[in-house]
Amino acid sequence: MRKIQFRPWLCLGLLAVLGAAACATSNVLGVNYLLPAQPGTPIGRSVAIAFEDARRDSAFLSPSARNELEGFTNVYALTVSKPGRSGELKGAYALGPLFVEILRYRLEDAGVRVVPAGAAADAQFKFVLKDFRMDFGDRKWSATVAYESHLLKNATLLSQQTVNGSAERMMWMKKADAEKVIGELVSDAVNQMDLASLFKQAGF
């Protein structure tokens, strides 16, 4: 039987090249998530993350926005950064896994231990996406997001918060400006979530 020799350095190199090529195309939109400047007092609890897409319209791009970003395949390249530091590319994700990854970094930054689904945890952190939409008109990108964050224990709701956000930017560089709007919107909306209050209301 022929043996196949695994060369980790070669695989990593190929992945890096492929990832860079993917992010350079219009098929993938970059999302730069900027963590909060002040994470606050560590919460010290554990959660498993669940994502629910409750949008009425599952299309992220309006028809006019899709005309400007022709070829977009609903894949997002996530970069995570801290204030004053350069970002680190984490990977390419569909919408649900994108938000799960962003939430993981947000929660861990606040001192919450994130465990895999089904593992023992103090609570389930459920993220319910109500709206996520980007439009283009009058040479401007505009985007909106709305979500609910729930803490549950044994399927019982312990606490919840609702967050709505919007952002817009004039278009000078088509794809780059669209990505800036998405990154600013997602960062502001996710960081607006008051995790300390959410866990306190839940009795933790």
Domain boundaries, the chain: 27-201
Task: Establish how many alpha carbons lie within 13 A of residue 44's alpha carbon, considering only the half-sphere containing its beta carbon.
Answer: 3
**How far is 10 from 3, CA to CA, in rounded Å?**
17
User: With contact defined as beta carbons under 8 Å apart, do 145 and 186 qualify?
Assistant: yes
pLDDT in tens, 167-190: 987 666 668 889 999 999 999 999
Q: What is the pTM of this model?
A: 0.84
The alpha helices in 87-155, defined as continuous H runs, are: 95-109
Q: Which CATH number fits domain 27-201: 3.40.50.2300, 3.40.50.10610, 3.40.50.1240, 3.40.50.970?
A: 3.40.50.10610
Residue linked to tokens 């008051």: 194
What does the pLDDT look like over 47-56, one tens digit per residue? 999 999 999 9
Task: Give yes or no for a contact between 139 and 171, defined as CB atoms under 8 angstroms apart.
Answer: yes
